[in-house]
Structure 1
Amino acid sequence: MHNNDIVRRLQYIFNINSKDMMTIFKLGGLVLDKQAYLAIMAKPDQDSARDAQLSRHDLEKFMNGLIISQRGHKTNPDGSIVAPDYSMQRDNDINNVVIKKIKIAMAYTTDDLLGFWEAADFKVTKGEVGAMLRRKSHPKYLVVGDQFMRKLLMGMANSLRG
């Protein structure tokens, strides 16, 4: 699954207009002009690289911006803003991190995620969801494949857009 496909699908699912999308990117630390934004949002060729239009790091900036737009900046007890984390170190981290950040941004529960997969007729257990959300260093960590990601986004679209 291409990185920009995730962004495009989230824009559709949450019905976010282009101006707000550019604001979300900016909140995450990526300032785009209209042309760069349109290039990111263009449908990719099937045979192009996963990060041809949107790098892994820029996707994570978007996800961080989504969290900030929905929940505000995370602050320390002294009131200073905590810098967003960047945990997409490898390509196989992308789907896990995106699911975690969607869950955080929209304040979804594990049951919400299970409901989205169910709406896409895809069987996922509570244990699998827990394994997806664990730290990479945990022995029971489950790397999320593209099919899990596609089905989650499809279920979100079915549930939230009808």
Structure 2
Amino acid sequence: MDNNDLLIRLRYALDIKDQDMVEIFKLGGVELTKEEVLKVLTKSDDNYEDDYEDEPSENDEHIRCTNSMFESFLNGFITFKRGPQEPKPGQANKPDRSIKNASSVNNVMLKKVKIALKLTSEDIIEILDEAGVTITKGEVSALLRKEGHKNYKVFGDQYARNFLKGLAIKYRG
């Protein structure tokens, strides 16, 4: 799944309106118009699996969602749902980028959606169960670990699809 697909599914699952999408991107530091957001929310015929540079490529119908754009959206989503966070003394204003490569996108999405929606590990287990996936608390813990940790586990595309499907069932009924 590419970032555009994740964004489309996340938007659908949480029933986020177009104007809210513009606001969320703005909170994350990416200025997009409503028309540009709609172009980001279109599926592309191209396959971007191996092509994840940070510059968005544009055409008339589609704007590609890069890793940095997707992470900015997720950061904006946290701010949108929970409000702005006051920086601690000595702390940098801009957060470090968590998405290091294409394989970490799903893990970062899971972590940031968990933070934004104030989900617990039990909630994640319940959401995946709604989609027909059985997972243990230890496995959830492994998915939420930092990349490079000895118990880190990649949150694969199938898990991500089922997580977003479970969110849709929970939030849309």
**TM-score using structure 1 length:** 0.91
Instruction: Extract unaligned runs of 5+ from structure 2.
Output: 58-63
CA RMSD across the alignment: 1.9
Q: Is the 8 A contact 2:2 2:48 kept in 1?
A: yes
Q: Please say which of residues 34-43 and 99-108 is displaced more in the overlay.
A: 34-43
Tell me how far apart the structure 1 counterparts of residues 113 and 101 of structure 2 sit (CA, whole Å). 19
Measured after TM superposition, the shift of residue 48 of structure 1 is 2.0
Measured after TM superposition, the shift of residue 81 of structure 1 is 7.8
State the AA in 2 paired with 1:29: G
Q: Does 1:33 align with 2:37?
A: no
Q: Does 1:128 align with 2:139?
A: yes
Tell me how far apart the structure 1 counterparts of residues 95 and 116 of structure 2 sit (CA, whole Å). 13
State the AA in 1 paired with 2:141: G
Q: Secondary structure at the match of 1:9?
A: helix
Q: Is the 8 A contact 1:75 1:82 kept in 2?
A: no
**TM-score using structure 2 length:** 0.86
Measured after TM superposition, the shift of residue 142 of structure 1 is 0.3
Q: Please say which of residues 48-57 and 4-13 is displaced more in the overlay.
A: 48-57
Measured after TM superposition, the shift of residue 100 of structure 1 is 0.1
State the AA in 2 paired with 1:69: F
Deviations, residues 72-91 of structure 1 (Å, cap 9, x unaligned):
22223459884233110110
Q: Which has the higher helix share?
A: 1
Q: How has the CA–CA distance of structure 1 residues 85 and 106 changed in structure 2, closer, same or farther, with 3 Å as cutoff?
A: farther
Q: Please say which of residues 19-28 and 134-143 is displaced more in the overlay.
A: 134-143
Alignment coverage as a number of residue pairs: 161
Q: Does 1:18 align with 2:29?
A: no
Calculate percent identity across the aligned residue pairs: 40
Tell me how far apart the structure 2 counterparts of residues 114 and 91 of structure 1 sit (CA, whole Å). 24
Tell me how far apart the structure 1 counterparts of residues 90 and 96 of structure 2 sit (CA, whole Å). 18
Deviations, residues 104-148 of structure 1 (Å, cap 9, x unaligned):
011000000001100000111111100011111210100111011
Q: Is the 8 A contact 2:67 2:105 kept in 1?
A: yes
Tell me how far apart the structure 2 counterparts of residues 67 and 152 of structure 1 sit (CA, whole Å). 18
Residue aligning to 1:149: 160
Q: Is the 8 A contact 2:19 2:34 kept in 1?
A: no
Tell me how far apart the structure 2 counterparts of residues 111 and 90 of structure 1 sit (CA, whole Å). 28
State the AA in 1 paired with 2:47: S
State the AA in 2 paired with 1:92: S
State the AA in 2 paired with 1:145: G
Q: Secondary structure at the match of 1:153?
A: helix
